[in-house]
Amino acid sequence: MKLEMFDSFDGTRLALHRTGQGRPLVLLHGLFSSAEMNWIKWGHAQLLADHGFEVFMLDFRVHGESEAPQEAEAYPTNVLVRDVAALIDHLSLDAYDLAGFSLGARTALHAAAQGVLHPARLIAGGMGTAGLGEWARRSAFFKRVIDEFESIPRGDPAYFSMQFLKSQGVDRVAARHLLDTMPDLDLAMLSNLTMPTLVVCGDEDQDNGSAEDLAALLPDATYREIPGSHMGSVTKPELGQAMVEWLGDRT
């Protein structure tokens, strides 16, 4: 596993983790997580590398090893889409596949629907229609976690999210700015996603709405259910296995 840094479109230093050789596959992690927490720790990246992929894992700004600027001007609308586009340019990728979990899936779908990125194949994990078309409501939950960080009691639905933010060492000032950069996606734009797409979601995961409904709105989608909740499914070997089975062995 190699770690390198590169400058995004605005000079923010972002971390890139890479492993394997073969067809390029870009992986995007979930909100307030990291490449390490979503893709490396549970073996998904190694499994994909073992099956013939060169795996590129970005740490979004405010996440993992990447910088977390506190200035508001560092957070224009769709900043994460622009960061992923900067990564693709940095790597000079032409033919590649793109996969994301939760926020990573949301970012990948936004980028492809808007024509910013053109992956050959797309994987959306832990994402449903509400996570795309009703982000303002989902964002409000996380803003409350940040704003009431020190006073959320045990038993509150936000308590676990607060603990997760604390464990990841997330800069709350930067995170608050980031949450305001993500507009809702007009679901009609999903018709632009003509590339083959895998929608994979835990059987107990409704955090971002219906993944099945999302798959139904995509022109060329396969739906795959795996065990687990939103936070749990990304830790299961079935996630990486589903990705490998759908992408195919490149060795």
Q: From the CB of residue 234, how many other CB atoms can be counted at a distance below 10 Å? A: 26
**Rounded CA separation 81/201 (Å):** 22
φ and ψ at 10, to 5 degrees?
-110, 10
Say if 159 falls within a structural domain: no
At 138 the pLDDT is 85
Give pTM, 2 decimals. 0.96
pLDDT of residue 165: 87
- Residue 203 domain boundaries: 2-134+185-247
| Within a domain: 224 | yes
Residue 178 lies in a domain: no
DSSP category for residue 54: E
Tokens for 249? 């062995």
Answer yes or no: is 140 within a domain. Answer: no
Going by C-alpha positions, the residue among 179, 58, 32, 186 that lies closest to residue 110 is 186
Domain with 36 in it: what CATH number?
3.40.50.1820
pLDDT tens string, the chain, 251 residues long: the values are: 999 999 999 999 999 999 999 999 999 999 999 999 999 999 999 999 999 999 999 999 999 999 999 999 999 999 999 999 999 999 999 999 999 999 999 999 999 999 999 999 999 999 999 999 998 888 899 999 999 988 999 999 889 889 988 889 999 999 999 999 999 999 999 999 999 999 999 999 999 999 999 999 999 999 999 999 999 999 999 999 999 999 998 87
Quick check: 122 and 112 in contact, CB under 8 A? yes
Residues 6+ apart with CB under 8 A from 86: 6, 7, 8, 9, 14
pLDDT in the model for residue 251: 79
The number of distinct structural domains making up the chain is 1
Phi-psi region of 155 (alpha: psi -120 to 50; beta: other; left: phi over 0): left
Q: Are 39 and 29 in contact (CB under 8 A)?
A: yes
In a domain, 150, yes or no: no
User: Does any domain span residue 59?
Assistant: yes
172 is a domain residue: no
- Strand pairing category for 121-125 and 97-101: parallel
Q: Cα–Cα distance between 49 and 100 in angstroms, integer?
A: 16
Q: Which among 204, 26, 178, 189 is positioned nearest to 105, based on CA atoms?
A: 26
Single-letter code of the amino acid located at 137: R
- The verdict on residue 118 lying in a domain is yes
- DSSP class of residue 9 equals T
Choose among 119, 100, 93: nearest CA to 38. Answer: 100
CA atoms lying within 13 Å on the CB side of residue 159:
7
Query: 3-class SS at 77?
Result: coil
